[in-house]
Structure 1
Amino acid sequence: MLHQIKLPFLFSTLLCIAFTQNACAKPQTDSSFKSSYQSFIPKNWKVLEKTQGDLNQDGQADLALIIEDTNPENLVANAGVGNHVLNTNKRKLLILFKQESGYQLAASNTTLPNEGDVESPCLADPLGESEALSIQKGVLRVHLYYWLSCGSWYVTNHTYTFRYQNNAFKLIGYDVDDFHRASGESTALSINFLTGKVKTTTDENEFAEQTQPAKVQWSTLKHRYALKFEQVQFNQPQEFK
């Protein structure tokens, strides 16, 4: 009879103590959660591009943002060929998960190319004139465009494809297409990192009166890649073997 009284009393006492400690504990603040997406934008930065869509299959409209610093000290005068003023302000790419009462920072990357390049002043803004971000069917794509007004005839497009899996955004696809504005030659490379397959499409002359069928070759990557969003160097040439 004595044991039957003591055990419930002890349990109730411990429960009461635990409740009191939780009630008195200070609320935890999470710097990766904010009530609005604007709160993730640092002072004197601006939004260059924004797109939304469900990225983690919870039915919420998540966001992907490209933001840029606006420091006037990073506007560099150029007396040579190309643009007269080069905007070398840094850029960031943010992925935000929509929550019931705000947004959670899911991933970020600080390697996007700047609008202007001191070493290549003829280079147009790699974000291009069309959308640099897109979300479709739970997949995020980042599009970069390389066109030079002097020094090269090539126009190159890069597309990075990411999908949220195993609590991280993984690079599942990479596409590059080159077009020579003088010769009309074009080459397209498409890599599927899930299968390791590589598709290479070559067209010898798009300007020819009688176009020939494009040549398609398939190959397999020698190495396996499992790059996360944060690991991708958007401002560096990519080479996968």
Structure 2
Amino acid sequence: MRFILPALFVFATAVAGITGAAAEDDGLPPVDYPSLPAAVATRAELVPAGWTVEAEATGDLDGDRRPDLALVLQSEKPDLSPSGEPLVGPRMLVVAFGTRKGYQRITVNHQLIPRASSRFVEDYFDAESGALSIERGTLTIKLHYFATMGGWGMWDKTYSFKLRKNEFVLSRYDHDYTHRAKGDTKRIIADYEARRLRVITGNIQEDATKTKKLKLPEPSTVTLEQVGDGMKFSPMPAE
């Protein structure tokens, strides 16, 4: 279990990277994201110069029985915090479908995995924990939040996407939150296929939990691009 530090300062979570060299509102420098070829013969051709493969998953996403490919690419150039401290480099989520001649690039997303903005916040994406996977036609990405200084909350957010009408849509969302000081827990599970939303509350010191069942608000379909910043998205209805 992680050591709990006093809440001295509050540090904002990162705002998602945006396509191209557009301005950001979180103080981070803009990123020129490279374009990727539409069709390649090998996986290596999907990795532009100056970027490395941080995580990789294979599996059949489009139902043609060919292995498809999901990559998290990370820039070798680190981001800098507003105060000039080096952070992890920005990332791209890339999905490519397997073909007879190689791969067809389907999705390039710069937003779901946000850019780092503070050295006091752990990396949102942990490749070694299996945060990217493909199983039974489902693409899953897991994000994580833990601040070594500032704020008591820590949480995991897990996004599961399936291919529907040639685009990836959210099939399940799982947000598991813990307050490190009080021990209070809240888990939000949104099942977009069943149109159900559950909120489960409890405390780490107790076995008993309370479950509240809700109807998912519109829209009924949320695409990968519509999720935007994966640390900010929530399916909860507005209060």
The TM-score normalised by the length of structure 1 is 0.76
Q: Which has more radius of gyration?
A: 1
* 1:228, distance to aligned residue in structure 2 (A): 1.9
Instruction: Report if aligned partners of 2:157, 2:231 keep a CA contact under 8 Å in 1.
Output: no
Paired residue secondary structure (1:230): helix
Q: CA offsets per residue over residues 13-71 of structure 1, 9 Å max, x none?
A: xxxxxxxxxxxxxxxxx941100111011111111100111111111111110001112
Aligned residue pair count: 199
Counterpart residue type for residue 219 of structure 1: L
Query: What's the counterpart of residue 59 of structure 1?
Result: 65
Query: What's the counterpart of residue 95 of structure 2?
Result: 95
User: Equivalents in 1 of 2:70, 2:81: separation in Å?
Assistant: 29
Query: What's the counterpart of residue 229 of structure 2?
Result: 234
Distance 1:217 1:228, change over 3 A: same
Query: What's the counterpart of residue 148 of structure 2?
Result: 149
Counterpart residue type for residue 86 of structure 2: V
* 1:225, distance to aligned residue in structure 2 (A): 3.2
Instruction: Report if aligned partners of 1:78, 1:86 keep a CA contact under 8 Å in 2.
Output: no
User: Equivalents in 1 of 2:212, 2:231: separation in Å?
Assistant: 26
Paired residue secondary structure (1:38): helix
More helix by share: 1
Structure 2 residue ranges without an equivalent (≥5): 1-35
Percent identity (aligned):
28
Alignment RMSD (CA, Å): 2.1
Instruction: Report if aligned partners of 1:78, 1:85 keep a CA contact under 8 Å in 2.
Output: no
Instruction: Report if aligned partners of 1:172, 1:194 keep a CA contact under 8 Å in 2.
Output: yes
User: Equivalents in 2 of 1:66, 1:225: separation in Å?
Assistant: 27
* 1:161, distance to aligned residue in structure 2 (A): 0.9
Paired residue secondary structure (2:129): coil
Structure 1 residue ranges without an equivalent (≥5): 1-29
* 1:75, distance to aligned residue in structure 2 (A): 4.5
* 1:144, distance to aligned residue in structure 2 (A): 0.2
Higher relative contact order (CA 8 A, sep 6+): 2
Counterpart residue type for residue 187 of structure 2: A
Paired residue secondary structure (2:97): strand
* 1:147, distance to aligned residue in structure 2 (A): 0.6
